[in-house]
Amino acid sequence: MMSFTALALTSVLFAVEPPDFAKDTKPARREADGESINGKSIASMRDKVKEIWPTILFEKDGKKIEYVATLDTDDGVMEIEFFPDKAPTHVRSFIALIKAGYHDGLVFHRCIPGFMAQGGCPLGNGTGGPGYALPAEFNNIKHEKGILSAARTRDPNSAGSQFFLCHARAAHLDNQYTVFGKVTKGMDVIDKIVNRAEPGNETPAKPCKVKKATVRIKGDDAADKKGDSEKKSP
């Protein structure tokens, strides 16, 4: 029989360390200073992300925790589910940014019909970020319509808050950009967002805005429970 001391040592060895912002992220080339187009301090939102980071878990007591994000935009509402088994750091960052209020009021500043819609820039022009960078988590999920993937520079480890939603299959991005989620409701909203762009101009004159971004744990919401109940009924 294993002694109490041995049991205690085993539990320590197999204990799961909480997420650590400092270990999980990299310094960004640009500091998180100035004000976002949503009127909030970029630095203060980053500080909130640091506080929220260790609270976002994908498993607890042996049970998986699944998150659902809702983007309420000028063009409708989208729901997004995530792939934490493929890109845990990118998923955690996106959720933490939402909880920090980072995405509220931001726009889809770059839109290309038949390709993608890009958002998540606090400056609204594609040059801003949250003040930290994410190591690449390239995986085997294909870039198809509705896929959520991380925008970056030529440096594979430079993704931050900017993301894009695929409007069509983009095979040339596979294993080159980090896929970390997909739109599960409101796929038609992507069509509306990209169609705001004028032909030959990737920057819409009136870009679609994210009025409010929220996130919940799947199954905790009344609508989720109702849906599960309906699925199980004969």
Q: Tell me what pLDDT residue 31 has.
A: 77
Average confidence (pLDDT) over 15-28: 89
Average pLDDT over residues 11-26: 77
pLDDT tens string 64-98: 999 999 999 999 999 999 999 999 999 999 999 99
pLDDT band at 14; cut points 50, 70, 90: very low
The answer to whether residue 166 is domain-embedded is yes
**Predicted confidence (pLDDT) per residue in 125-158, tens digit:** 999 999 999 999 999 999 999 999 999 999 999 9
Residue 99: inside a domain, yes or no?
yes
Q: How far is CA 197 from CA 158, 188, 211, in A?
A: 26, 16, 19
How many Cβ atoms from other residues are within 10 Å of residue 84's Cβ?
21
Structural domain span for residue 72: 21-218
- State how far the alpha carbon of 101 is from the alpha carbons of 49, 55, 86, 104, in Å: 9, 16, 25, 6
- Domain assignment present for 149: yes
User: What does the pLDDT read at residue 234?
Assistant: 38
pLDDT at 223: 53
pLDDT in tens, 149-202: 999 999 999 999 999 999 999 999 999 999 999 999 999 999 999 999 998 899
CATH number at residue 49: 2.40.100.10
Section 18-22 average pLDDT: 95
Q: How far apart are CA 105 and CA 102, in angstroms?
A: 8
Structurally, how many domains does the chain consist of?
A: 1
Q: Is residue 10 part of a domain?
A: no
State the pTM of this model: 0.88
